[in-house]
Structure 1
Amino acid sequence: MGLLVDGVWHTDGYDTESHGGRFVRDTSGFRNWVTPDGAPGPSGAGGFEAEAGRYHLLVSFACPWAHRTMILRKLKGLEDSISLAAVEPLMLDDGWTFAEPEAVTGAQAMWQVYLRADPKCSGRATVPVLWDRKRETIVSNESSEILRMFNSAFDALPGVDARLDVSPQALHAEIEAVNERVYDTVNNGVYKAGFATTQKAYLEAVTALFESLDWLEERLATHRYLVGDRITEADWRLFTTLLRFDAVYHGHFKCNLRRIVDYPNLSAYLRELYQVPGVAETCDFPTIKRHYYGSHRTINPTGIVPLGPELDLTASHDRDRLPKAA
């Protein structure tokens, strides 16, 4: 996995020992914002104006955090404005790597991209990364904030769907409340369970995870989507974890009390979101499975990728029984 310490790459894994066997995720180090006029956003520095062809998104098709940004890039019609490059499936001693030097940054490994932005950088070289060609630096590596930039910052550009708003101001408070629980116990919860190195830490994480899945199942019995009567960012943030759950987290991360397919409402909701036009094109199960089962050698030393499960996300769903916005 590896990390940077004062600009030097180290092949260290996660330090769970100092946290009582618990997995603790590092905070994102680059928190600038692209805005319509280049004014500063909620954090970081200004100077990042929304322009076609200026920004470059670096992702992994395996990573749920990167996946949410890929979905918004697709749905908003940003593909002609923001270019994209993907790393290889496996993340081993050199971290995320490219099959050949990446065309825009020239990097062979993601940590080299981070060093181009900050030669003394410390921390994990994660994806996604939003790269600025003009200033040759990282705008942001915080997926939730990149998602919000894609939602509105580029709306004035040709070809962008300015009508689509997954973060409506009127719903911000409720979206934030749902996001907070889903992030802590579901999005990050599967990792807390999977990377735990004590029984206590594992049980804490997996119990909270399934309490939240049960809560979501109940909520979706009477709500078409998580917040309001339309798809919001809360749905896409949950979707990328649900998509990987039965194929990876259930077995590989020992999140095996129940599968998503065992939840009637959650599984139908997952199918509905998957069937939104354009979304399936961002989903790559072979890469997802190869990454998790092949990269985490402390969990799966042989690197064997299981054949199953068989999933049919194109099957019909009954979500039309619940109202949604016109």
Structure 2
Amino acid sequence: MNPFAYSAPTDTDAALVAIQTDFNDSMPNRFLAGGTNLVDLMKADVMHPARLVDVNGLPLDAISETADGGLQLGALARNADTAYHPWVRTRYPLLTAAILAGASPQIRNMASNGGNLLQRTRCHYFYDVGVPCNKRDPGSGCSAIGGVTRQHAILGASSHCIATHPSDLCVALAALGARVHVQSARGEREIEFADFHRLPGDTPQHDTTLAADELITQITLPAEAAAFAAHSVYLKLRDRASYAFALVSVAAALQLDDAGRITQARIALGGVAHKPWRKPDAEALLHGALPHDALFARVADALLEGAQGQGQNDFKITLAHRAIIRVLQSAVVGTLTNRDEGDASAEESLQ
């Protein structure tokens, strides 16, 4: 591990000053929260911050109601505390299900909400400093293309990068229409969740639209998204039952009227792109319709339009299509309360 400076400010203003101290573009300073991803990347010699600004002492771990009846999730609230919070479980059970499908209990106890948003890709080639990687070393090439691609993207990829975003939490936040609140010495701003993560394009080294000196302070969930509580499902398909990243995941949230028609729908996919994948036009196909499998198949077609595999991950297209239909069927029936019902193996889904 390379040497680095360390500071642990106790207020936000001091943290924003510290992140700019002796800033070096080639070895940018980084905020440290749970560290479950950043520290691993430092140990692997992938990331080399000149300074770590430990923000765990900042008062950013509260979960509270917003003025309009939504929820405010502190950036430093731990994933486990968020998942088990009674307001999250009752109003936004989709978020609880997604968090509990991720990582392990030990990691969920340590990982922060803000840090989860900033996870780097788990691409094998990104972690292997002995091979070219445009995300790690821009312009060096993408070793994944033509390589081992089972985990890689089928949507939104480019000739520069075919990696996928690994978060489960973010897939649910995308479906729920969350907003990310950030702060820097220049002031505060809000970012629509759909605009927070980026597709790779020709600059895959930039995972998000967050500036290097901006600190995530909170994530807000809109009050209207609580209307999905009765009909929301998160399904994660992976190679083993725990501690594995998604091959494909689907978060679906529906609102039904008394006649059984779908009045609102949100769907987000994980494990398929460089960011959580949503297409409002595909969701709109459900609005005002009575649910049936043929409709769900059309929605899956629309969500996966343009999907392209790399050979070893071609199966993801079929897997994702079937998963979307399955999740919509389940969401119509009602929210799953047993977290294990939101998980399955890839092989089971393909049967």
Note whether the superposition's TM-score is higher than 0.5: no
TM-score, normalised on structure 1?
0.30
Q: Which has the higher helix share?
A: 1
Q: Higher relative contact order by CA 8 Å / sep ≥ 6: 1 or 2?
A: 1
TM-score by structure 2 length? 0.29
